[in-house]
């Protein structure tokens, strides 16, 4: 793969040094520049692509119309349009930073894009078949608009449509008020309640005899508040049911303007107000099913949701804002991939890597962060020489690609147009689908790579996924962890508003000024995303990646605290004296972080593997296990050199009972005494010739004793 980069100053409107940017770009076969690439520079671009036989190009150009023009030029030179990638050197750099900062940032962003493309996941699609049935609740105009394309049912919801202006000849009109809606795209169930059954023949007798305004004509139905009386006996088919009757109808899609959204971002196939042309188009697009990119990689073998009817980790279910994950059983979660809207909430919450975002993958994000912070030469280079740095305080900014990205672009346009004075520190952007994508692993990795700070830049209260203050808890936890690591507070959340650039500029500038230089050098850490080769978890799972990053940080700091708080994916196990050493917790643990040593009668715990799912605590039959949050450095194997097996620590010392006959240890003394106290009287004297009670024999010898007694 031959890669070339092309840098443009947009007719010198971008305050960047083109030559310096070229010198700062690494990992490509050729770096070229032009003051106006889309015009005067096109012939040179064609020549460079042809001369170097490029397969992929990275171009600094944020303007979509111009991007299409450059894609056509590259395609004419044999480069596939999908192999042309664009980065923003203008709105997000040259229009809002000084020349030094904009120059450094542009080169870094090109380097990050190249690193990200190398880790890009191959595309994969999924399909979900569905029918063409659509329920429209109390909206005759929408029902009529869809009738030519779909099998539409208009649910009256207590309304009358005799004089409806909309053309309803091709629409099925159903009586009843909506009680509940369950299901997902392709399998919605609508529960309706009415006072008239399906035996109704629309003879109008109840309409004529009933109280004024209490009975609708089309469809015939009775208001729940209508008074009972003799008029209810006029129905010739006994279709009036004043106590109410319910029925359930099935549909592929639902249009329900008056419904409250179950999720802020809505659900695929379920549409609430406002209903507009875009809604109608979406319904039509989804008729018959959907084909969409597969957003998730699932590896449920490592899921910590629970086992043996014991609930465990529920992070993905609680995190998903789109009803795309559910606890299918008490010990299992299920993903409905067709409903996934690619926010990444479940993936950043999952500690084990059972669910992973395909694009951008964690590995891709890691490589982009490393490229953004990497010096350009062995001496530190012009991009990261802190004695005279072009980026005085390197801040990695995870930027939501939806409203937050648009707001930052608007700031650049306002600045270039002279409508506002906008200049802020050159934060180093990593575009994510939503700030929900960002978890503790991403943030700690940025610190391990030498960032002075981490900014999470999202949509705030307008976020279609998380709602208000989406990352408040995460930022609080991360700052607690960084304080415990003697790094101070290095994380913040920002929600830029398009029409309030001053507020963002002040907030991000204050954040940058208050950051102390990190003691962690840049350019030395490259993540593998793994810790213990014996783990079955995929690389860059949250737990393993976070631990790897903390270990890299600890090479450069010496905190006083042993326990690093704020990291939710790490648990510390405490076991009370009541433990009888049953194997329940070890059998339930999804990460093999607990084991039972029968020879020494000890229960052992592996802190390095524990993801704090709580399954052992929930399933403990004696209720003696307590799990606490936090990464305890003293429990990690590298800090336990004096132990025979440093990854494992005894959390309970017991005593094993040996068989009276064969001498083999077969159960703990605690378990034996507990069982004997519960059923001992019932089996007393069962084997008179035995030396001691039957509870002093292992299973095999006990069976032999009983056999001998029966044949004696």
Could you report the per-residue pLDDT of 86-122, keeping only the tens digit for each? 999 999 999 999 999 999 999 999 999 999 999 998 8
pLDDT at 149: 96
Specify the DSSP class assigned to residue 413: H
Q: What is the pTM for the complete model shown?
A: 0.85
H-helix segments, 449-533:
472-484, 501-514
What distance lies between CA 393 and its chain's CA centroid? 29
pLDDT at 462: 66
H-helix segments, 493-591:
501-514, 542-554, 584-588
pLDDT at 712: 55
What percentage of the chain has pLDDT greater than the value 90?
77
Contact 455, 397 (CB under 8 A): yes
What distance lies between CA 466 and its chain's CA centroid? 11
Determine which helix (DSSP H) or strand (DSSP E) holds 8, and give its type and residue range.
strand 3-8
H-helix segments, 229-375:
277-285, 315-319, 345-349, 362-373
What's the whole-number mean pLDDT along residues 238-249? 96
Give the distance between the most distant pair of CA atoms in the chain: 106
Is the pLDDT reported for residue 554 higher than 80?
Answer: yes
Residue 539 CA to residue 362 CA, distance in Å, equals: 9
The SS3 call for residue 480 is helix
pLDDT at 665: 76
What's the whole-number mean pLDDT along residues 281-299? 95
pLDDT at 385: 47
Is the pLDDT reported for residue 379 higher than 80?
Answer: no
Q: What does the block give as tokens for 629? A: 């949050």
What's the whole-number mean pLDDT along residues 513-526? 94
**Among 14-28, 38-52, 276-290, 590-604, which is the least confidently predicted range?**
590-604
Is the CA virtual torsion 547, 564, 592, 315 positive or negative? negative
Q: Between 198 and 668, where is the model more confident?
A: 198
Of 267, 275, 274, residue with least CA distance to 143 = 275
Number of H helices, E strands in the chain: 19, 35
Determine which helix (DSSP H) or strand (DSSP E) holds 19, and give its type and residue range.
helix 18-24
**Among 74-83, 207-216, 574-583, which is the least confidently predicted range?**
574-583
Contact 89, 102 (CB under 8 A): yes
pLDDT at 690: 66
**Among 63-77, 114-128, 221-235, 369-383, which is the least confidently predicted range?**
369-383
Q: Between 600 and 16, where is the model more confident?
A: 16
Cβ contacts of 499 within 8 Å, gap of 6 or more: none
Is the pLDDT reported for residue 31 higher than 50?
Answer: yes
**Among 465-479, 552-566, 585-599, which is the least confidently predicted range?**
465-479
Determine which helix (DSSP H) or strand (DSSP E) holds 174, and give its type and residue range.
strand 172-174
Quick: pLDDT tens for 380-392.
444 444 333 467 7
Extended beta strands in 205-324, E state: 215-217, 220-222, 240-251, 253-255, 270-271, 289-293, 296-298, 306-307, 310-311
pLDDT at 388: 39
What's the whole-number mean pLDDT along residues 591-611? 91
Is the pLDDT reported for residue 275 higher than 90?
Answer: yes
What's the whole-number mean pLDDT along residues 166-172? 95
Contact 124, 145 (CB under 8 A): no
The SS3 call for residue 561 is coil
pLDDT at 523: 85
What's the whole-number mean pLDDT along residues 442-456? 97
What's the whole-number mean pLDDT along residues 385-408? 80
pLDDT at 706: 73
Q: Between 425 and 656, where is the model more confident?
A: 425
Q: What does the block give as tokens for 412? A: 């650049």
What's the whole-number mean pLDDT along residues 62-88? 94
Query: What mean pLDDT, rounded, does the chain reach?
Result: 91
Quick: pLDDT tens for 623-638.
999 999 999 999 999 9
pLDDT at 670: 66
Residue 425 CA to residue 394 CA, distance in Å, equals: 9
Is the pLDDT reported for residue 463 higher than 90?
Answer: no
Is the pLDDT reported for residue 372 higher than 70?
Answer: yes
What's the whole-number mean pLDDT along residues 662-688? 68
- pLDDT confidence tier of residue 123, bands split at 50, 70 and 90: confident
């Amino acid at each position: 793969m031959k890669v070339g980069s092309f840098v443009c100053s947009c007719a010198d409107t971008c305050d960047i040094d083109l030559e310096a940017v070229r010198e700062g770009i690494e990992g490509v076969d050729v770096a070229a520049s032009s003051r106006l690439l889309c015009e005067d520079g096109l012939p040179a671009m064609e020549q460079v692509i042809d001369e170097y036989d490029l397969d992929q190009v990275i171009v600094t150009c944020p303007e979509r119309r111009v991007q299409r023009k450059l894609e056509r030029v590259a395609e004419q030179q044999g480069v596939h349009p999908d192999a042309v990638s664009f980065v923003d050197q203008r709105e997000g750099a040259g229009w809002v930073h000084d020349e030094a900062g904009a120059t450094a940032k542009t080169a870094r962003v090109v380097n990050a894009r190249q690193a990200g493309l190398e880790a890009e996941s191959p595309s994969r699609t999924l399909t979900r078949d569905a029918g063409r049935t659509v329920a429209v609740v109390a909206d005759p105009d929408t029902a009529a608009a869809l009738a030519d394309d779909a099998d539409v049912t208009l649910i009256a919801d207590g309304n009358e449509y005799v004089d409806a202006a909309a053309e309803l000849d091709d629409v099925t009109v159903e009586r009843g008020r909506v009680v509940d809606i369950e299901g997902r795209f392709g399998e919605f169930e609508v529960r309706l309640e009415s006072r008239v059954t399906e035996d109704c023949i629309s003879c109008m007798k109840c309409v004529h005899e009933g109280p004024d305004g209490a009975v609708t004509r089309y469809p015939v139905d009775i208001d729940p508040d209508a008074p009972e009386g003799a008029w209810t006996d006029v129905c010739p088919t006994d279709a009036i049911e004043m106590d109410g009757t319910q029925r359930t109808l099935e549909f592929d899609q639902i249009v329900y303007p008056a419904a409250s959204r179950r999720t802020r971002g809505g659900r695929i196939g379920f549409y609430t107000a406002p209903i507009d042309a875009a809604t109608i188009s979406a319904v039509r697009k989804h008729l018959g099913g959907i084909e969409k990119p597969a957003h998730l990689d699932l590896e449920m073998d490592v899921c910590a949701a629970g086992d043996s009817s014991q609930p465990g980790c529920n992070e993905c279910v609680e995190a998903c804002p789109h009803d795309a994950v559910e606890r299918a059983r008490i010990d299992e979660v299920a993903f409905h991939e067709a409903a996934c809207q690619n926010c990444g909430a479940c993936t950043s919450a999952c500690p084990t890597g059972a669910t992973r975002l395909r694009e951008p993958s964690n590995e891709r994000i890691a490589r982009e962060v490393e490229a953004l912070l990497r010096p350009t030469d062995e001496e530190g280079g012009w991009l990261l020489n802190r004695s005279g740095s072009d980026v005085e305080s390197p801040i990695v900014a995870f930027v939501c690609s939806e409203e937050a990205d648009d707001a930052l672009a608007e700031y650049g346009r306002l600045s270039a147009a002279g409508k506002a004075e906008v200049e802020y520190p050159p934060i180093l952007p990593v575009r994510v689908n939503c700030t929900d994508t960002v978890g503790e692993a991403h943030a700690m990795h940025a610190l391990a790579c030498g960032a002075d700070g981490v900014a999470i830049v999202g949509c705030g209260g307008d976020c279609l996924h998380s709602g208000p203050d989406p990352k408040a808890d995460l930022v609080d936890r991360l700052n607690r962890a960084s304080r415990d690591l003697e790094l101070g507070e290095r994380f913040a959340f920002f929600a830029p508003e398009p029409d309030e650039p001053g507020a963002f500029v002040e907030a991000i500038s204050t954040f940058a000024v208050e950051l102390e230089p990190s003691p962690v050098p840049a350019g030395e850490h490259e993540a593998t995303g793994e810790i213990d080769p014996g783990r079955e978890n995929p690389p860059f799972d949250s737990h393993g990646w976070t631990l790897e990053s903390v270990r890299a940080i600890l090479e450069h700091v010496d905190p006083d605290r042993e326990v690093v708080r704020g990291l939710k994916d790490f648990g510390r196990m405490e076991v009370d004296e009541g433990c009888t050493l049953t194997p329940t917790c070890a059998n339930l643990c999804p990460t093999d972080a607990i084991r039972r040593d029968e020879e020494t009668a000890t229960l052992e715990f592996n802190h390095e593997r524990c993801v704090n799912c709580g399954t052992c605590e929930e399933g403990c039959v004696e209720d003696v296990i307590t799990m606490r949050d936090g990464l305890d450095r003293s429990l990690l194997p590298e800090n336990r050199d004096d132990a025979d097996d440093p990854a494992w620590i005894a959390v309970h010392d017991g005593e094993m009972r040996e068989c009276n006959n064969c001498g083999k240890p077969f159960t703990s003394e605690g378990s034996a005494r507990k069982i004997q106290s519960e059923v001992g009287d019932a089996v007393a004297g069962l084997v008179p010739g035995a030396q001691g009670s039957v509870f002093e024999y292992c299973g095999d010898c006990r069976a032999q004793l009983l056999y001998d007694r029966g044949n004696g």
